[in-house]
Structures are given as C-alpha cells and as structure tokens.
Amino acid sequence: MEESFVLSSLRNIVSDGDNAGIPLHEILATLDEERKPTKATSITRLRNYMSCSLAIIPCLIFGLLLHVPVLQIWNGSFCALPTPAMMFGMIQPIADCNICEGVAEAPRLVNLSRKDFALQHAHSSKPIVVVGAAMNWSAMDVLSYEYFQSLYQRYPDAVDGDMSKGQFFSYSSNIRHLEDLFELSSERAAMISERWYIGWSTSDPRIAKDIKSLTSIPYFISPMNSENDLTWIFMGAPGPGASMHIDSVGEPSWQAQISGTKTWTLVPPTECESVCASFNVTVNRGDIIVVDTNQWYHQTYIHPGNISITIDILGC
C-alpha cells in the first residue's frame, strides 16, 4: 500500500510537471536535490551515531564478559550505563524547523480563549505559559507527598498496577519503585536528610479519578481534546529535576505547576540547531505550560523554596 502511494504520488508529480511544460530530467533533478541531506543534518546524524555507538559498545563488552545474550543487553536489563539523551534523536523523524525558528522565549499569556489557543497554539509546537490557569483548582491546597501516600494506601494494588502498566522515573534519586516512595522515613519524605525528585504515570482509574476531582481541564483547552486517561505526576525538592531528554508520547502535553517554581531548559531538535535557539522558561505556582516534548529536548530545575509538584496530561 505504501509503495502504491509513493508511485501514485510520483506519477502525479511527473504529470503536473509535464502539463506545466517542465522536462522530465528537471523534475527528477529537483526530486534528487530535495532528498539530499544538508551538511548540518549529516553532521548531526554522524554525531548522534557516534554517541549511540559509544553508549552501546561498553554495554556489549560488559554483557559478553558475563555471557549475557545480546538482545537482553539491548533491552537494557543488564546495562547500567545511562543512554545519552541526544541518542534518541537518531530514531526521531526529521523535524520541521518552523516549530522553533525565530522562537526565543515562551509567551506568557493571560485569559487565553479556546478559539485563540486552538487556532494559534494547539498545533504549532511552540511552547507557551498560561499564567495562573490552575490557581482556582482544589489541588493547589491539597496535593502533597502525604496526599499521594494516603491515596495509594487506600488502593494498595494500584502501586504494582502503575509500575507494571506505567512508567517510573527515579532520575538521580535512589527511589526505584512507588512502594519505596511511599515507605520513606518522615525525614527522607520531608527531604531533610536527602533530596529526591521522581516522576511516574498512573492509569489506575481510581487514582486518576481522585486526582482529576481536584483539577479540571484547563479553561483554554476544549474538553474533547483532553480525554487522555494517563496522568503524570512529577514531584521533588529544589535542585535538578529531569535531565536533558526528548519524549516519544505522540502528542503535546500540558503541565500544571501545583507547588513550587520550575525552570525548563528547552533545546531545539539537533537538525535545527543552526536556525533555532535554546532558552529557559520559568513556570510559577498556578501556571500551566503547554509544550510538545516530542519536538523539544528539555530538562528542568526546581527553584529554592517549596517542593515542586506538577500534574501533566497529554492532549491539547
């Protein structure tokens, strides 16, 4: 089916060119020129390939010494070395640099209408911050470490369910499981003895329902465009948050800053680095950031002061 589509498209191009009086050799030359990668893209891909190779080779050596099957090494079961964030760009589609060209900051908007958001921002992949969009949520005064701990104690089977069906990111902390998170000592939970920052997704309908009862679909987003059952929670102390990475979640997302202040560092796709700039975006308590994390590499930093808690939901 794909081949038929390509051949059909090629025939249409040739036919249109013929009707316009363009010789066949000129059409083919143009197509050949279009498919050639730019020098910048070639260099980027070479750099990514080298990063990938340098990351994989130690894993392979380590695995072979322990007689671990190569496929098991590839799946990450025995390789403890972190994968460079930029390596993931190797398997990403080539980006459209229109998403970032000329973008030097994320606009801070107030009273954004659904119409303006849908027409100007929802599909542009250009990040924005909607100031105070979550300030009237009950979650602002309710969500805390203790709240989540109590919630999962109410539904103990949800812990293993979310770990098996969702994802858990320990980042630089040594908390490896939701169960570990909610069994911290009071000092560790309060981050007196040691700081931590983690993130996890929940698809448990009871957990999601409870969290969503304290929030609402942002007023500038159509309810029809935000029906995702997967809810992300990111929580942790001042200091480094998520390290530089890019997501593969299929669609843009919005993230509400429930507590604390977080600064995002946004980096454009590697093939766009010659025409696009990196920049920082600070999100304060009650603000909502809308960003396509499938397009922008990103890392976060939590400002001194309160613990940072954010709710992140896909779909805009």
Residue 75 has pLDDT above 90, yes or no: no
* In the predicted structure, residue 300 carries a pLDDT above the cut 70: yes
- What one-character-per-residue DSSP string does the chain give? -HHHHHHHHHHHHHHHHHHTT--HHHHHHHHHHHHSPPHHHHHHHHHHHHHHHHHHHHHHHHHHHTT--HHHHHTTSS--SPPPGGGGGGGSPPP-GGGTTT--S--EESS--HHHIIIIITTT---EEETTTTTT-THHHH-SHHHHHHHHHHSTHHHHHHHHHS-EE-TTSS--SHHHHTT--HHHHTTSS---EEEEEE--HHHHHHHHTT----TTS-GGG-----EEEEEE-SEE-SPSB---SSS-EEEEEEES-EEEEEE--GGGTTT---EEEEE-TT-EEEE-TTTSEEEEEEPSSSPEEEEEEE--
Q: So what's the pLDDT on residue 166?
A: 87
Which pLDDT does position 70 carry in this prediction? 41
Q: What percent of the chain has pLDDT over 90?
A: 54
Most confident of 181-185, 200-204, 287-291: 287-291
User: What is the per-residue pLDDT for 72?
Assistant: 37
How confident is the model over 243-287, as pLDDT tens digits?
A: 999 988 778 889 999 999 999 999 999 899 999 999 999 999 999
- For residues 292-314, give the mean pLDDT: 93
Among 73-77, 135-139, 182-186, the range with the most confident prediction by mean pLDDT is: 135-139
Tens-digit pLDDT profile for residues 91-137:
566 778 998 999 999 999 999 999 999 999 988 889 999 999 999 99
Measured distance CA(139)–CA(125) in Å, rounded: 27
The first and second tokens of residue 286, run together, are 């009650």
More confident residue, 100 or 53: 100
Q: How does residue 143 score in pLDDT terms, banded at 50, 70 and 90?
A: very high
More confident residue, 160 or 85: 160
**Average pLDDT estimate for 144-148:** 96
8 Å CB contact between 106 and 289: yes
- Domain parsing of the chain, residue ranges: 2-35, 39-91, 97-314
Residue 77 pLDDT exceeds 60: no
Q: What does the pLDDT read at residue 301?
A: 98
Angle CA(179)–CA(193)–CA(164) in degrees, nearest 5? 15
Q: Pick from 315, 164, 157: which is nearest to 251 by CA?
A: 315
Look at residue 39 in the predicted model and tell me its pLDDT. Answer: 38
Query: Which amino acid is located at 242 in the chain?
Result: A
Instruction: Decide: pTM greater than 0.85.
Output: no
Whether the predicted pLDDT of 47 surpasses 90: no
Q: Is 11 exposed, middle or buried (0-12, 13-18, 19+ CB in 10 A)?
A: exposed
Domain spanning 97-314 has what CATH number?
A: 2.60.120.650
Mean predicted confidence (pLDDT) in 233-246: 95
Rounded Cα gap, residues 70 and 150, in angstroms? 42
Average pLDDT across the chain, whole number? 79
| Confidence tier at 35 by pLDDT (50, 70, 90) | very low
